[in-house]
């Protein structure tokens, strides 16, 4: 159980990220998953729910509700897919593009306040250490 301190640091670091990031997103009238969806759709051709779920790491049942709410807000739209009657493509509306252009740079600036306190070498070190742990976990995760 030598790994418990690491486990706790992983949980508290992620929690700290949420507390640092989410309120800033909220101040722009978006939730964190809504922001992720908008950022994934921006400057990209329209994409299916499946692709969007892979990019944002949001499972499909959850994604339906998030997109529903973004449609109500007129930030994204569903367009039917001529190639495949089962799927649709999702894209930003003009309003969604404006919101992205406003919110994205502001949020990046906010995140930079914390992340840029690490040097490039520290970022690389942290990324690769996380990746090693992630791969170890994925090996023991049912697909």
Binding site for DNA (CB under 7 A): 15, 18-19, 22-23, 31-34, 48-50, 57-67, 69, 78, 81, 84-89
Give the x/- contact pattern for its own copies in 7-26, rule: CB under 8 A: x-xxxxxxxxx-xx--x---
Query: Minimum Å distance from CB 21 to its own copies?
Result: 8
Across 9-83, the runs of DSSP E, i.e. the strands, are 76-80
Query: Minimum Å distance from CB 61 to its own copies?
Result: 15
Figure out which of the listed residues 43, 61, 72, 139 binds its own copies, where binding follows CB under 8 A: 139
Contact between 91 and 76 under an 8 Å Cβ cutoff? The reply is yes
Contact between 102 and 29 under an 8 Å Cβ cutoff? The reply is no
115 sits near its own copies (criterion: CB under 8 A): yes
Residue 45: alpha-carbon gap to chain centroid: 18
Work out the angle between the directed axes of helices 4-26 and 32-41 (0-180°, nearest 10): 80
Contact between 43 and 29 under an 8 Å Cβ cutoff? The reply is no
User: Which of 24/89 has CB closer to its own copies?
Assistant: 24
User: Which of 82/121 has CB closer to DNA?
Assistant: 82
Quickly tell me which residue has 């990324």 as its tokens: 127
Contact between 87 and 49 under an 8 Å Cβ cutoff? The reply is yes
Query: Residue numbers of the site for its own copies (CB under 8 A)?
Result: 1-3, 5-7, 9-17, 19-20, 23, 57, 108, 110-118, 120, 122-123, 125-127, 129-134, 136-142
């Amino acid at each position: 159980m030598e790994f418990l301190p690491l486990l706790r640091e992983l949980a508290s670091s992620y929690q700290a990220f949420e507390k640092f990031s989410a309120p800033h997103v909220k101040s722009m009238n978006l939730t964190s998953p809504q922001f992720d969806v908008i950022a994934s759709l921006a400057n990209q051709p329209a994409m299916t729910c499946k692709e969007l779920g892979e990019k944002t790491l949001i499972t499909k049942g959850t994604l339906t509700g998030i997109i529903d709410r973004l449609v109500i807000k007129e930030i994204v739209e569903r367009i039917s897919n001529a190639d495949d009657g089962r799927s649709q493509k999702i894209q930003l509306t003009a309003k969604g593009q404006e919101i992205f252009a406003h919110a994205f740079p502001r949020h990046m600036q906010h995140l930079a306040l914390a992340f840029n306190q690490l040097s490039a070498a520290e970022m690389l070190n942290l990324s690769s250490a996380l990746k090693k742990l992630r791969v170890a976990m994925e090996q023991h995760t049912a697909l």
